[in-house]
């Protein structure tokens, strides 16, 4: 079994052969992937060493101390946190070899074509159609709220392939090339003034059957792997103590004593404790992931993440007063990543409103936690055995 000492030795070999100070960034990241030090728990040949997941921290610490470049995980978070684990679990050998290396290195950005105008919270009600045509599938439909579609090369896509089946059983999961003819990406201007999200129109897009992930009709099953990983990715990312947004507000409190009031002091203390509890809970969740796949507990972490971000950003704006409303740039920008800590308080306040929607609405996640974590009775579902084409719209 691979040990921490083995990984330190292998990392030192990588650094000796490819000194970060003189090696081009992409070349270093490719060499790191090929050495099995990208994600050590992945299989040999796919960026890993079949090592325990918890040992990744050993590699990251050694490379960080040496000043090695990272793969800009915020920019490629959808690929890392959602596409990659789904491809690893359901992909063919050829799909894994072709897609995982450029995904991890950051040469190819991924987006997620799930939500639709008429099927947001109820993903299983989606209506985008995929019709078999020989060795291809012809896809027509519309997706919405697609982060990074304007910079993405690939997308994970769920489409309806059998409208005669109930909504959860008639879907299939595909990998869509965003450069294909028929893919039209249009910006959605947000309350922040930016267009980080998009709507995507698919008109006669031809996807080879070789880019199908999982069996025909099992799209819902495959999508669950994506969604569970997405919620852990959004709500359970590793941060240091007093990291993230609570650290920004705490720093303002310490450096700007003239802003303090008794009320904001009490609220800051309460939110600091809540943030620390969420951070430690996230650490426990990641430890559970070492032995298997993410479960519904990730929904609870994502719920906490959304609530905390909104309450912390609200406190920050109140603490700063008029200054908290300032926002440096309201022009239409097309960012390729979200930055919650490197921007102004006004931006954080506005952007955090979307946290309770993206990655599953808080209302849906509350149901998941109630039913799949706490074991409470499920809500009545009258449509579960009705063919999708017969559902009321």
Catalytic annotation, residues: 230
What is the DSSP pairing of strand 171-177 with strand 183-188?
unpaired
| Of 389, 312, 304, 302, nearest in space to 348 by CA | 312
Question: Do residues 244 and 341 touch, judged by C-beta distance below 8 A?
Answer: yes
> What is the helix (H) or strand (E) element at residue 362, kind and residue range?
helix 362-368
* Distance from chain centroid for Cα 379: 28
Question: Do residues 148 and 74 touch, judged by C-beta distance below 8 A?
Answer: no
| Of 76, 17, 65, 8, nearest in space to 37 by CA | 8
* DSSP assignment letter at 382: T
* DSSP assignment letter at 211: G
CA angle in degrees (0–180, nearest 5) for 294-35-1: 60
Query: Residues near 63 by Cβ (< 8 Å), separated by ≥ 6?
Result: 11, 15, 32, 37, 70
Reduced to 3 states (helix: H, G, I; strand: E, B; else coil), residue 157 is: strand
CA quadruple 80, 83, 84, 90: dihedral, nearest 10: 160
Question: Do residues 217 and 169 touch, judged by C-beta distance below 8 A?
Answer: yes
- CA separation, residue 312 to residues 268, 280, 328, 340, 360 (Å): 8, 18, 20, 12, 21
**172 CB-contact burial (10 Å; exposed 0-12 / middle 13-18 / buried 19+):** buried
CA Rg value for the chain: 22
């Amino acid at each position: 079994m691979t040990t921490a000492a083995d990984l330190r030795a292998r990392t030192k070999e990588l650094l000796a052969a490819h000194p970060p100070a003189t090696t081009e960034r992409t070349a270093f990241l490719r060499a790191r992937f090929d050495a099995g030090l990208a994600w050590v728990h992945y299989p040999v040949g796919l960026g890993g060493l079949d090592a325990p997941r918890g040992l990744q921290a050993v590699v990251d610490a050694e490379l960080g101390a040496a000043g090695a470049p990272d793969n800009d995980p915020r920019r490629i978070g959808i690929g890392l946190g959602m596409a990659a684990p789904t491809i690893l679990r359901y992909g063919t050998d050829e799909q894994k070899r072709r897609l995982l290396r450029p995904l991890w290195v950051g040469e190819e950005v991924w987006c997620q074509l799930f939500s639709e105008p008429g099927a947001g919270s109820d993903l299983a009600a989606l209506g985008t159609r995929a019709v078999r045509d020989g060795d291809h599938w012809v896809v027509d439909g519309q997706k919405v709220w697609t982060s990074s579609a304007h910079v993405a090369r690939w997308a994970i896509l769920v489409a309806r392939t059998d409208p005669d089946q109930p909504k959860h059983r008639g879907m299939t999961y595909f990998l869509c090339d965003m450069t294909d003819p028929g893919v039209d990406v249009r910006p959605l201007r947000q309350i922040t003034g930016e267009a980080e999200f998009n709507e995507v129109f698919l008109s006669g897009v031809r996807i080879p059957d070789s880019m199908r992930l999982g069996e025909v009709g099992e799209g819902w099953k495959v999508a669950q792997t994506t969604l569970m990983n997405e919620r852990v990715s959004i709500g359970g990312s590793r941060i240091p103590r007093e990291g993230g947004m609570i650290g920004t507000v705490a720093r303002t409190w310490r450096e700007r004593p003239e802003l303090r009031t008794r009320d904001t002091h009490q609220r800051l203390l309460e939110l600091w404790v809540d943030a620390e509890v969420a951070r430690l809970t996230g650490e426990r969740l990641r430890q559970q992931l070492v032995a298997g796949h993410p479960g519904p507990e990730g929904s609870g972490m994502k719920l906490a993440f959304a609530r905390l971000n909104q309450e912390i950003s609200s406190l920050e704006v109140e603490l700063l007063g008029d200054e908290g409303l300032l926002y440096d740039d309201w022009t239409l920008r097309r960012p390729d990543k979200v930055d919650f800590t490197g921007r102004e308080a006004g931006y954080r306040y506005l952007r955090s409103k979307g946290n309770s929607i993206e990655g599953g609405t808080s209302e849906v996640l509350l149901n998941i936690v109630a039913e799949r974590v706490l074991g409470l009775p499920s809500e009545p579902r009258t449509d579960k055995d009705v063919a999708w084409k017969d559902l009321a719209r």
